[in-house]
Structure 1
Amino acid sequence: MVDADDVRRVALALPHTVEIASDGFDFRVADKGFVWSYPERIPGRPRVIRRDIAVLFVGDEAEKQALLLGEPDIFFTAPGYDGLPLVLLRLPMVDLDRLTELVTDAWQMRVPDALRGDPAAAGK
């Protein structure tokens, strides 16, 4: 079982990751979001930032559908995410290894080729 602090540790361990100030968590690489807290919208109520649910970039609709259909207890979506390569991840339903895999995969899909090389060399 993981939480928002675990997301922060995993995301910030990835090279070139930037944390954007928010009420929850929001991580980007080269100005592209790869994981952030879910801004839940219920009609007639103010938006609530859910730190127990992460929005995760998955690359394409096929991967999104595979996750949604394969593990519906862990992944879900909401109407505002229709047609977008994003899934919602219930953080308490995964362990640290799985979180690390998912966040790293999302980061890899967003990081530009120029930043993919040796992280130590990229900072020089």
Structure 2
Amino acid sequence: MPVTIDDIRRVASQLPRSYEVVVRDRVKFRVGQIVWLALNREETEVGFAFPKEEREWAVASEPDLFFMPRQSDLRFNWIEARLDALDEARMRELVIDAWRMVVPRSVGASIPDP
């Protein structure tokens, strides 16, 4: 069953230092001022922190799930995914990994691997 914004919210809101904001009708999660996860307005796609050097490989290996961010966002550690291609376990893994990219290691280590 595909995940929803409520599923993502349930995971992301429980992570230390993470908080939700709405910017231009889009739900985003931040740590400090860093946006580490954002949904599109329709809440059908999610973008999140992801290593740039692994992005092309991820898109090539799972094109039904991942796609490249828009041109202006290619400079960031960011990737996009389709919610209808995500299951609960994979979403949890991706959300926690994205959050770990923006928090200190000691904070990231406080949450067990999914």
TM over 0.5: yes
Indicate how the Cα distance of structure 1 residues 103 and 116 shifts in structure 2: closer, same or farther if over 3 A, else same.
closer
Could you tell me which residue of structure 1 aligns to residue 60 of structure 2? 69
TM-score normalized with structure 1 length: 0.76
Could you tell me which residue of structure 2 aligns to residue 94 of structure 1? 86
Could you tell me which residue of structure 2 aligns to residue 10 of structure 1? 11
Pairing partner for 2:102 from 100, 105, 110:
110
TM-score normalized with structure 2 length: 0.82
- Number of residue pairs matched? 108
Shift of 1:2: 0.5
Shift of 1:87: 0.9
Indicate how the Cα distance of structure 1 residues 118 and 97 shifts in structure 2: closer, same or farther if over 3 A, else same.
closer
Shift of 1:118: 4.7
Separation (CA, whole Å) in 1 of partners of 2:108 and 2:80: 26
Shift of 1:104: 0.2
Q: CA RMSD in A?
A: 1.9
Indicate how the Cα distance of structure 1 residues 117 and 106 shifts in structure 2: closer, same or farther if over 3 A, else same.
closer
Query: Which segments of structure 1 move beyond 6 Å, counting only runs of 4 or more?
Result: none
Task: Say which one has the larger Rg.
Answer: 1
Q: Deviations over 1:28-52 (max 9, x none)?
A: 11322111113xxxxxxxxxx2311
Shift of 1:88: 0.9
Q: Is the 8 A contact 1:30 1:111 kept in 2?
A: no
